[in-house]
Amino acid sequence: MKVFSLIATLASIVATSTPLSTPLQNPLNDARITREKVPGNNPAFYTLLPSKDQMFRVRELTMSPQPPLKQRVFFYLSGFIIPKYPLPPPSHSLINATLTLRMRFTDGDTESPNQEWNATRKITEFPFVSVRRVGIYGGPLLYGWNEVVGDVGLMHDPWNKVKTREVEAEAEARMGVEGEGEVGEVLWGFGARFKFAQVWLNASSLCDSLD
């Protein structure tokens, strides 16, 4: 079965990615929820918690070019991480903070209808993500000002009969935890819907928020 992936990370770690058995944990499909836009040039909305309850206070989330063209897209995220009081227990840390990416194809492709994928890594170990502080790249998130930059390769299959794919995607970052069964505080949660138009040997995308 051919799987058409928008995000290079899912291709590089597909061996350890797992199909989801439940829908994405975001409000994109619930008309009763008022969606809160993430600041910047992007199609994303907050998920999991309102922006005021997320530890990472976003100043800007920008994707370039917007909408993305051809095979490569660059991401830039900046903002402050505000400590919560009372402070999280010692077993919770930014050093081991994790990032989860979820994707679901919703174009009705008969070979892979509504296929969903999930990948989780420490932020410091994600292939295309790098934290930047005071011009220095690498390392973990810290309290205070942070920048996160990403370089994402878009992929295409020139023989796939589906020329346009609809995708729901979500990015969820949490503080790292050591205890079994513990769930880290939400750093950020974003979700969006995308259209990716495939034109034979040249994959171009139309990344628009769908109403």
Detail the DSSP E strand segments found in 82-163.
Answer: 92-105, 116-122, 129-133, 136-137, 144-153
| Residue 5 one-letter amino acid | S
Span 190-204, pLDDT tens digits: 998 877 655 444 434
Average pLDDT, the chain: 72
| pLDDT at residue 18 in the model | 37
Among the listed residues 49, 29, 25, 42, the one whose alpha carbon sits nearest the alpha carbon of residue 211: 29
The pTM of the full predicted model, rounded to 2 decimals, is 0.72
| pLDDT at residue 69 in the model | 55
Span 55-83, pLDDT tens digits: 999 999 998 876 655 556 788 999 999 88
Span 9-63, pLDDT tens digits: 443 333 333 333 334 444 455 444 468 999 999 889 999 999 999 999 999 999 8
| Domains observed in the chain | 8-21+36-195 (2.70.50)
